[in-house]
Amino acid sequence: MDPHRIYFPRSLSLSLNTHTQKKAPASKSKRRRNLERVTSKFQKLMAEINSEPLLNREQDEEPPQEQDDVVAGGGEGTTTTRIASLDVFRGLCVFLMMLVDYGGSFFPIIAHSPWHGVHLADFVMPFFLFVAGVSVALVYKKVSDRVDATQKALIKALKLFFLGVILQGGYLHGITSLTYGVDIERIRWMGILQRISIGYIVAALCEIWLPCQRWRGVGIFRNYSRHWYIAGALLVVYLGLTYFLYVPDWQFEILTPMSSSLLTNSSVVYNLTCSTRGDLGPACNAAGMIDRYVLGIGHLYTKPGYRNLKECQISSNGQVAEDLPSWCHAPFDPEGILSSLTAAVTCIIGLQYGHILAKLQDHKERLHNWLIFSFSLLGLGLFLAFVGIPVNKPLFTISYILVTSSSAGITFSALYILVDIYGYRYLTCPLEWMGKHALSIFILVSSNLAVIAIQGFYWKAPENNIVSSLDCNTFTTLLMLQSLGQSR
């Protein structure tokens, strides 16, 4: 018996012969086509299993670059270009910051709302957080080494945080003095850049460690459901501390104007009666209590916006009258610890807009998702404001982040239509330039470095300088406009 030959039972052999007789053999060309078809289907199936279901495969195979480059076209044959509307939106944030800082004293309606309510200035911070979240989705759209990406994100956040401490912590004394330095017991730890750094690192960690869940056909927001779990957890913690944390009575002391001029140790002690939970007023809210315990009352912002309320009218010499409520004298940080939780949620919302920008290629698909998401957030925010959760920027309430984030989404969609779809970039050229140099402009504006530098040059006497002859705010505005004109 030949060992290399396979023997079948006689009955099975007969059945096989009968079957072959009934069915004619297929031609060689047909067999080849069937084999190629099966092979092609198998290769497609393996590709879907071993790769993410992204619409732009070739670009995602490239290492992530820290720039806002995605597919800007709307179909096949598109090329990778920079999203100009994102720079324009970032430049709009910087422009609004300058407008409300320098124009708020002349037009109080655009300045920050003293407490409840929202003015134009109250949109600036959420807009910055929103665009930071969008940028995170583009920078970390594909991460090969999560540990290395996390280290780089942490280093960037720390740099941004400590830069904010230097700019807004009291280290720079401003245009009235060419000196610098701050008492370490009085330095302000929180601020604008610090808040952006906190929101940035939360969004970056979500994007690095909680990527797309690879569920096809269920919607782009469903694919990032774990990001929404993080956002929901932050909101639950915020609500729990805001409405259920007990705020006891407290007191603080400040130097009297006379004692500060005479360099004496006399001070005035103010007592506030709280003993409550869930208070959203300036005096007894949980956010202020957490900052006083964790940061220390000496490290809080000394000129809070609620001093512009009717209950805290400022006298002609710029001092708060002694017969006003005690809380009018109290410091309060609008960029505190508790409100940073909801600020991070704003970054996560912006992150979802960035996912739409990075994953979808068609203009209509992007706008459809953005607008539905924006108006849904707006409706929910207005509903919460109607049922009793006020729109409040110092507390960064949930209704506030929903209303402002939806406004940011609608504004970004409008700029996307104007700039990236219709190509009217010449109309927004100054804003685009400002967006590409946003951090540098912020440093110049917040620290008055340009004004201080020019103030150091004078003719024969220190009083003979341009800054002394012009209003400082007007001079800074002219300087920024001149730099914009030169860049064009």
Q: Is the pLDDT of residue 64 over 50?
A: no
Token duo for residue 216: 């096809």
What are the tens digits of pLDDT across the range 277-321? 999 999 999 999 999 999 999 999 988 989 888 888 765 455 555
Distance CA 301, CA 305 (A): 10
What share of residues in the chain are helix, strand, coil (percent, to 5)?
60, 5, 35
pLDDT of residue 21: 46
Given this model, what pLDDT does residue 444 score?
A: 83
Chain centroid to Cα 366, Å, comes to 20
* pLDDT, mean of residues 20-39: 58
Residue pair 214/200 in contact (Cβ under 8 Å)? The answer is no
Q: How far apart are CA 380 and CA 298, in angstroms?
A: 37
Write down the pLDDT at residue 190.
94
Burial class of residue 182, CB neighbours in 10 A (0-12, 13-18, 19+):
middle
Q: What is the pLDDT of residues 284-293, one digit of tens each?
A: 999 999 999 9
> If you average pLDDT over each of 5-14, 232-241, 358-367, which comes out highest?
232-241
- The answer to whether 362 and 55 have CB atoms below 8 angstroms apart is no
pLDDT at res. 308:
87
| Residue 23 pLDDT | 46
Cα gap 483→487, rounded to integer Å: 6
pLDDT value at 192 more than 90: yes
pLDDT of residue 478: 44
Please state, rounded to an integer, the average pLDDT across all residues of the chain: 80
pLDDT tens-place string over residues 199-249: 999 999 999 999 877 655 556 678 888 999 999 999 999 999 999 999 999
Residue 353 sits at φ, ψ, to 5 deg, of -65, -35
